A and B are shown apart, each in its own frame.
Chain A
Amino acid sequence: MAESPFKADIERVQKEYSEKMTPGAIAYIPGSSVVNKTGSWRVFMPEFNRDKCTRCFLCYIYCPEPAIYLDEEGYPVFDYDYCKGCGICANECPVDAIVMVRETK
């Protein structure tokens, strides 16, 4: 799997995110949500069929998280650390290359 384009951001926030408690527990560094992986509460996960994909980018555009990025060839890559399993990508995919399956792990 291609590397997440947010990797540098994640590392920066992880490094900068102060462990020190601020008055009122204010978060001063934007992007703390990057540290808190939000994929853990997913029930359905998108399963991707590369052969059917026409590289139309619709899944990439519609992902509200955004947990989909594109690899060098333009195919979508799903970041399961942040995918909440909403199913919007599967719904938007015009060629049914994405199917939502129950999380089994």
Chain B
Amino acid sequence: MPIRTVMKANEAAAWAAKLAKPKVIAAFPITPSTLVPEKISEFVANGELDAEFIKVESEHSAISACVGASAAGVRTFTATASQGLALMHEVIFIAAGMRLPIVVAVGNRALSAPINIWNDWQDSISERDTGWLQFYAENNQEALDLILIAFKVAEDERVLLPAMVGFDAFILTHTVEPVEIPDQEAVDEFLGEYEPKYAYLDPAKPITQGTLAFPAHYMEARYTVWEANENAKKVIDEVFAEFEKRFGRKYQKVEEYRTDDAEIIFVTMGSLAGTVKEYVDHLREQGVRAGAAKLTVYRPFPTEEVRELAKKAKVIALLEKNVTFSVGGALFQDFSRALVNLDERPKVVDFILGLGGRDVTFKDLDEALEIAQKALNGEEFDEVNWIGLRKEIL
């Protein structure tokens, strides 16, 4: 029987890792994801998880150890956040290029400077061009489920890419919510044993991994990563469907909420989606035709689903906790790209908010709505808006 209990997202991530039975976990503690390796080392020390827990001296070593273990042919897992993920950056590319299905739990946190341990998405968004799959959890249950899903997608033969699952720092990592822990047997059936087909150590069959590629081959190698990302779109749908069948919880790449007759659709990711859904309910009571959508999967970017979503709205308001300087947010670029060649397309307005753990309140969303309504009424509007900015101290 699945156990219903209460836990933090960090614990949920550790539990997901335990259920997935990785053979190697290499981790370095960093706020706010420290509890993940702590909990896993506890599982390993108690004999509840038969795995090698490698204590490393930095995140660069953590991901390097994971790359080594994964290349040797075992399931691997690690957790990190912010500067830790940034320190992994170099090896993050290598993991994707070598097509190693490592799963990393990311407690989404702001990047320095100034030093800030609170939530935004800048850390994992900064890794969006590495070829990794990216999932964003709205609540603690999703943090657990998406890690299991990430393993299944990453290890699919058509994909073979590493994946990161983001859950918002402190908003999720340190808050307690009801979480259902699935049965070990059910997870075993869902995930199966990891059997590497390409990359593994076998003295009888020597191979060279992480080779040098001359200009004649490098481009093709990178294209295979592109292709794997394209394949992942279909695989993710399949895995979501299978997950729903087995565990009863439905996931979609783009989850829509009250979008059917919406004029303005707020699009966001992560824990902010919960706030936005509530805000949409609040707007509907006032007769404003608003809807919400959440991106559960950010990489591969769900272009088709986004185009379908765009057909329903006159204005798409993007609420994002990251900045691409002089451009807007990352979602703004992705949405603009997805919609640019459509004959009929909604206006896209970008809102940067909640950076470095700033609370996003209904008041902030009201501010966003006002600008979105300008766009809806054909008035002039700014494409990129910083919401909740304390202009008086600038």
User: In the complex, which residue of chain B has the Cβ closest to the Cβ of A28?
Assistant: B207
Query: Contact between B209 and A26 (Cβ–Cβ < 8 Å)?
Result: yes
- Quick check: is B213 within 8 A (CB to CB) of the other chain? yes
Q: For the complex formed, measure the closest distance between the CB of B232 and the CB atoms of chain A, giving whole angstroms.
A: 13
Query: CB distance B208 to A26 under 8 Å?
Result: yes
Number of interface residues of B (CB under 8 A): 21
Q: Are B198 and A25 in contact (CB under 8 A)?
A: no
* Set of chain A residues within 8 Å of B198, measured between Cβ atoms: 22-24, 26
Pairs of residues from A and B, 6 with the lowest C-beta to C-beta distance, nearest first: A24-B99, A27-B208, A24-B98, A25-B221, A23-B99, A21-B220
- Contacts from A to B (Cβ < 8 Å): 21-28, 30, 32, 36
Bound Cα distance from A27 to B208, whole angstroms: 5
Cβ contact of A24, chosen from B160, B217, B223, cutoff 8 A: B160
Contacts of B217 in A (CB 8 A): 21, 25
B100 contacts chain A at the CB level, 8 A cutoff: yes
* Contact B199–A24 (Cβ < 8 Å): yes
CA distance A41 to B299 in the complex (A): 41
Flag whether B73 is at the interface (Cβ < 8 A). no
Which residue in chain A gives the minimum CB-CB distance to B99? A24
For B186-215 the 0/1 string (1 means CB < 8 A from A) is 000000000000110000011111010110
CB distance from B252 to the nearest CB of A (A): 28
> For A36, what are the chain B residues with a Cβ–Cβ distance below 8 Å?
214
Measured between beta carbons, the chain A residues less than 8 angstroms from B206 are 30
Enumerate chain B residues within 8 angstroms of A23, measured Cβ to Cβ: 99, 160, 198-199, 224, 228
A32-B211 contact, Cβ under 8 Å, with A23-B160, A24-B99, A24-B199: yes
- In the bound complex, CA of A36 to CA of B208 (Å): 14
B96 closest partner in A (C-beta):
A24
How far is it, in angstroms, between the C-alpha of A28 and the C-alpha of B207 when the chains are bound? Answer: 5
Taken together as a complex, chains A and B put the C-alpha atoms of A27 and B217 apart, in Å, by 12
Taking the closest CB of chain A, its distance from the CB of B129, in whole angstroms, is 18
Pairs A–B under 8 Å by Cβ, sample size 8 = A23-B160, A24-B99, A24-B198, A25-B98, A25-B217, A26-B198, A26-B199, A26-B211
Q: Which residues of chain A have C-beta atoms less than 8 A from B223's C-beta?
A: 21
User: B97: CB under 8 A from chain A?
Assistant: yes
Residue of B nearest to A21 (CB): B220
Instruction: Report chain A residues within 8 Å CB of B97.
Output: 24-25
The closest CB in chain A to the CB of B220 belongs to A21
The CA of A36 and the CA of B213, in the complex, are separated in Å by 11
Chain A residues near B199 (CB-CB < 8 A): 23-24, 26
Say which residue of A25, A28, A30 sits within 8 Å of B213 (CB atoms).
A25
- Chain B neighbourhood of A22, CB < 8 A: 198
Task: Return chain A residues, CB-CB under 8 Å to B100.
Answer: 24
Name the residue of chain A whose CB is nearest to the CB of B98: A24
Closest CB-CB distance, B276 to chain A, in whole Å?
A: 38
Contact of A27 among B211, B224, B228 (CB under 8 A): B211
